[in-house]
């Protein structure tokens, strides 16, 4: 079997806890080191992991004993940390988005390609039973030929609950770059790559008020569009309409609906791994709930990293993330310029995930050689 795959984590904030639920104690990996700007927080995380060291970020990134860097920093730091990891010969799996802009993301992927180093990127929620069961239904022809999809995220903004929400309202933030990766990645799994986009956006408030925590009541500036909508033109000919908003209270819309010639699928929240997939057809009354038929069961964040380490064709790949970022930034450019924009990237539709019980993936075999 060999030794477990050694991982170093940069960034031990809130999201790291979700990853550790999946990775802590997994037989295929070991968390060997952690780093954070808050050294006390990093030390506390390391103390809960056998054999783990809390290191300064530079020391962790230059540690030759580590095979993969899990990059859980804020979006503005994604590119810098990933680039340093690649420079030091480490493969990288990071939180979404890949980076905040396309030139930086493209340079990062070229750097990794030149070194033959694998890059993976969240979201991996689309590998769970929710989106994968919906994909299996599409592929089985349960809705006939797919024609269109509608994706909706409508929230009042993260400042109501997040203690330090500033970065959501700075360049690189906003509802599309923050939450859009879940929806666009799901749409790519369901309908394939995107060839062009047409977007519109607005910014109705110049500032927001933090609603909780030690800074409650503090007003912060809004420097990005907070309502972004648009049309995605898929290579298959299907059209997806997407809305991501920090300017709504709530919605009754399904997170994603996929419409075909003979049926419609209601797809669960792509920010979750599971959820009911509902089907309505021309020949059946009402909606029926489909049993889970594909995907990693009972999965949580980090399954994309395990998939990258063990699958011959990683599904939560940097290539998919680059295409998603291309679509998102092109939507924003389209909104600003008032025109359709053709994407400069494409990607193969990731391989489907067969139904994989938790007892199986939690005991995945040793990582393949990468």
- Pick the range with the lowest mean pLDDT from 2-11, 44-53, 84-93: 2-11
CA distances from 24 to 46, 49, 301, 362 (A): 11, 7, 12, 11
215 pLDDT above the threshold of 80: yes
Asked if residue 51 lies in contact with residue 30, where contact means CB atoms within 8 angstroms, the answer is yes
Confidence of residue 366 (pLDDT cuts 50, 70, 90): low
pLDDT of 139-175, one tens digit each?
999 999 999 999 999 999 999 999 999 989 998 899 9
**Bridge partner residues of 259 (DSSP):** 148, 264
Q: What is the mean pLDDT of the chain?
A: 96
> What's the CA gap between 191 and 181, in Å, rounded?
15
Concatenating the DSSP letter of every residue in 250-319 gives ---S-SEEEEESSEEEEEPPTTSS---EEEEETTSSS-EEEPP-BSBTT--TTHHHHHHHH-SS-SSBHH
pLDDT of residue 363: 79
Average pLDDT rounded to a whole number, residues 72-101: 96
Confidence of residue 364 (pLDDT cuts 50, 70, 90): low
Average pLDDT rounded to a whole number, residues 289-299: 98
Give, for 102, the enclosing helix (H) or strand (E).
Answer: helix 102-115
Percent of the chain clearing pLDDT 70 (strictly above): 98
pLDDT of residue 166: 93
Which of helix, strand or coil describes residue 101? coil
Give, for 21, the enclosing helix (H) or strand (E).
Answer: helix 14-23
- The candidate with the shortest Cα–Cα distance to 169, out of 278, 76, 62, 300, is 76
The pTM (predicted TM-score) of the whole model is: 0.95
pLDDT of residue 175: 97
2 pLDDT above the threshold of 80: no
Domain architecture of the chain: domains with CATH: 5-121 (3.40.50.720), 125-294+317-342 (3.30.360.10)
Work out whether strand 227-234 and strand 194-202 pair parallel, antiparallel, or are unpaired: antiparallel
> What's the CA gap between 31 and 47, in Å, rounded?
11
> What's the CA gap between 181 and 178, in Å, rounded?
7
Higher pLDDT, 370 or 301: 301
367 pLDDT above the threshold of 90: no
Average pLDDT rounded to a whole number, residues 177-200: 98
265 pLDDT above the threshold of 80: yes
pLDDT of residue 365: 58
pLDDT of 318-359, one tens digit each?
999 999 999 999 999 999 999 999 999 999 999 999 999 999
> What's the CA gap between 47 and 37, in Å, rounded?
17
Collect all residues with Cβ–Cβ distance below 8 Å to 284 and sequence separation of at least 6: none
Percent of the chain clearing pLDDT 90 (strictly above): 92
370 pLDDT above the threshold of 60: no
> What's the CA gap between 326 and 188, in Å, rounded?
13
């Amino acid at each position: 079997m060999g030794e477990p795959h050694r991982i170093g984590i940069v960034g031990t904030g809130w999201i790291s806890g979700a990853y550790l639920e999946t990775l802590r104690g997994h037989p295929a990996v070991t968390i060997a080191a952690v780093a954070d700007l808050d050294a006390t927080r990093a030390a506390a995380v390391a103390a809960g992991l056998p054999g783990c060291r809390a290191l300064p970020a530079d020391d962790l990134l230059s540690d030759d004993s580590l095979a993969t860097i899990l990059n859980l920093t804020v979006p503005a730091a994604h590119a810098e940390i990933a680039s340093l990891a690649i420079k030091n010969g480490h493969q990288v799996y990071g939180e979404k988005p890949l980076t905040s802009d396309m030139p930086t993301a493209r340079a990062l992927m070229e750097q990794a390609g030149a070194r033959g180093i694998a890059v993976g990127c969240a979201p991996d929620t689309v590998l769970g039973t929710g989106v994968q069961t919906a994909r299996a239904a599409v592929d089985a022809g349960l809705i006939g030929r797919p024609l269109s999809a509608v994706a909706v995220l409508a929230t009042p903004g993260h400042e109501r609950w997040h203690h330090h929400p500033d970065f959501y309202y700075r360049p690189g933030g906003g509802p599309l770059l923050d939450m859009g990766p879940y929806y666009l990645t799901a749409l790519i799994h369901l309908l394939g790559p995107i060839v062009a986009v047409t977007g519109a956006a607005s910014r109705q408030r110049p500032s927001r008020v933090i609603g909780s925590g030690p800074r409650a009541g503090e007003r912060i500036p809004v420097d990005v569009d907070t309502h972004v909508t648009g049309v995605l033109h898929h290579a298959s000919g299907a059209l997806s309409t997407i809305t991501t908003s920090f300017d709504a209270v709530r919605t009754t819309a399904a997170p994603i609906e996929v419409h075909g010639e003979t049926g419609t699928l209601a797809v669960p929240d792509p920010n979750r791994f599971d959820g009911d997939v509902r089907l309505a057809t021309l020949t059946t009354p009402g909606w029926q709930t489909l049993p889970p038929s594909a995907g990693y069961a009972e999965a949580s964040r980090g399954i994309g990293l395990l998939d990258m380490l063990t699958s011959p064709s990683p599904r939560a790949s940097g290539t998919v993330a680059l295409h998603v970022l291309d679509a998102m930034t092109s939507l924003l450019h389209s909104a600003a310029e008032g025109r359709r924009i053709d994407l400069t990237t494409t990607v193969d539709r990731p391989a489907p995930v067969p139904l994989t019980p938790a007892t199986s993936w939690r005991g995945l075999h040793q990582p393949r050689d990468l």
